[in-house]
Amino acid sequence: MKLNGAQLIDDAAGLPGGGHVAALPGEPMLVGGAVRDLALGRTPRELDVTLDVPAIDAAMALAGSLERAGEGACEVREHARFSTARVDWPGGRVDLARRRCESYNRPGALPDVMPAGVEPDLARRDFSVNAIAVALSGPERGEIYAVPHALADLAAGRLRVLHRASFADDPTRLLRLVRYSARLGFEPEPETAGFAQTALEDGALESVSRGRVGAELRLTLGEPDPLRALAVGEELGLWRSVAPGLRFDAERAAAALAELPADGRVEILLAACLFSCGQDEARALLNEFEFAAAQREAILAALRGDELLGELSRAERQSDVAAVLGAATPEAAALAAADGDPCAVRAVGLWRDRLRAVTLTIGPADLLEAGVPEGPQIGSRLARTLARVIDGDVQPGRESELAAALETP
């Protein structure tokens, strides 16, 4: 593949922040995923820029330029250890880094960095298709820099690590291999696939903190096609290497997603990975992966899908179905139906299509006004009446519902 540097610069200029980065100090270069995506005709998620000056200096200059142009207030974040900074504003994001080389004092450790030129900066990257840069300004404006094989791999849709020890140096690249494969539709070239398998067999991910693994896992779940990304990881044997109890059931996950609105996708997908774990093991893993408490509890609630199967098999009346599924989360109900058990499929369909919409026209105030004293029996009378309405034993309507609720239990 032959890239046109001038065209890449023009394309980048039309993106949020693209008209400002070329004016930054330090011979800015567009690099990595931004170049890759523009070359493929895709829209980058953000712009990645490297420079020969401290990243924080360039970030402050970029923020000032954006704010003067009326782009809105900017937030600047620095990660001094890695000589990187980030600028966020209402319209976009730019990641900036001082060009550098890296060394690892042990496998899986975070790298030590030192300022370096363009070639060493590209050579430290994960895959060849992410090791391409274009100069944005100065006498070399439009010049393309790339590691060996990068342009050919981009054209052929191949993922290639830059050296044999790549996955050992940074085992999180194994998760990135999965993400890029799913997102781009690229395949690992044979030698890279072999390096990945060797790294997994050698337990490379054991050298990485669980928090870092969890962060990479959340990025995987945030992919445009997380089902594909998780399935690629399962084929590679990645999830079993992360934790023996992790298995991704793609068929069940897809069936559950079809039962559920889009807002429960992450919980469904994580639960589909954790089905072979018990609640205690799943909770421990989610804690190790540093999932936020609310999301962790939602995932654990979704794992009740297996328990629901037994409860639904014992449901004799429609009100029994409503009681079981009314106390469950939508994710748990969806996963129960995705099991394929005919009883669960019918029950969840009935709940989704009719039962959950059934409500009473009376409430606590009506019972108090009718003389029922305050206390637990208010709720129990209303629950019993709702069950009878669901089962067709009481006709909907205020008078019939109130009469039923006032009957002696």
State pLDDT tens for residues 85-111.
Answer: 999 999 999 999 999 988 877 776 777
Buried b (16+ CB within 10 A) or exposed e, 262-272: eebbbbbbbbb
User: Which range among 69-78, 86-95, 249-258, 318-327 shows the weakest confidence by mean pLDDT?
Assistant: 249-258
List 88's β-bridge partners, or say none: 75, 93
List 8's β-bridge partners, or say none: none
Classify 166-302 by CATH class.
mainly alpha
- E strands, 59-156, in order: 75-79, 84-89, 92-98, 100-103, 112-115, 132-135, 144-146
Residue 353 has a CB neighbour count (10 Å cut-off) of 9
The sign of the CA dihedral 65, 68, 70, 75 is positive
Quick one: DSSP state of residue 397? S
Per the prediction, the chain carries an average pLDDT of 92
- Ordered DSSP codes for 130-144: G-EEEE-SSTTTT-E
389 pLDDT above the threshold of 90: yes
Largest CA distance in the chain: 91
Alpha carbons within 13 angstroms on the beta-carbon side of residue 277 total: 25
- pLDDT-above-70 percentage for the chain: 99
261 pLDDT above the threshold of 80: no
Tokens of 330: 């939508």
Say if residues 336 and 348 touch (Cβ distance below 8 Å).
yes
Q: Which of 119, 75, 92, 85 is nearest to 13 (CA)?
A: 92
Residues with Cβ < 8 Å from 97, sequence gap 6 or more?
48, 49, 50, 51, 55, 82, 83, 84, 85
Task: Tell me the CATH number for domain 5-156.
Answer: 3.30.460.10
- Ordered DSSP codes for 159-219: E-BSSTTHHHH-TTHHHHHHHHHHHH--EE-HHHHHHHHHHHHTTGGGGS-HHHHHHHHHH
Q: What is the pLDDT of residues 9-55, one digit of tens each?
A: 999 999 999 999 999 999 999 999 999 999 999 999 899 999 999 99
Q: Which helix (H) or strand (E) holds 158?
A: strand 158-159
- What is the predicted pLDDT for the residue at 263? 60
Q: What is the pLDDT of residues 156-207, one digit of tens each?
A: 999 999 999 999 989 999 999 999 999 999 999 999 999 999 999 999 999 9
224 pLDDT above the threshold of 90: no
pTM of the model: 0.82
Q: Give me the residue label for tokens 């509890």.
A: 297
- pLDDT-above-90 percentage for the chain: 74
- Give the whole-angstrom CA distance, residue 247 versus residue 317: 35
Q: Where are the alpha helices (DSSP H) in 202-314?
A: 210-221, 226-236, 238-242, 250-259, 265-273, 279-288, 293-302, 305-313
Say if residues 73 and 87 touch (Cβ distance below 8 Å).
no
Q: Where are the domains of the chain?
A: 5-156, 166-302, 305-355, 364-406
363 pLDDT above the threshold of 90: yes
From the CA atom positions of the chain, what is the Rg in Å?
28
Residue 52 has a CB neighbour count (10 Å cut-off) of 17
3-class DSSP state for residue 51?
Answer: strand
- Give the whole-angstrom CA distance, residue 353 versus residue 343: 15
Residues with Cβ < 8 Å from 117, sequence gap 6 or more?
99
- What is the predicted pLDDT for the residue at 262? 58
- What is the predicted pLDDT for the residue at 321? 95
Mean pLDDT score, 372-395: 94
- Same fold for the pair 5-156 and 166-302: no
Q: Which helix (H) or strand (E) holds 353?
A: helix 342-353
- Give the whole-angstrom CA distance, residue 396 versus residue 393: 10
Q: What is the pLDDT of residues 281-307, one digit of tens each?
A: 999 999 999 999 999 999 999 888 878
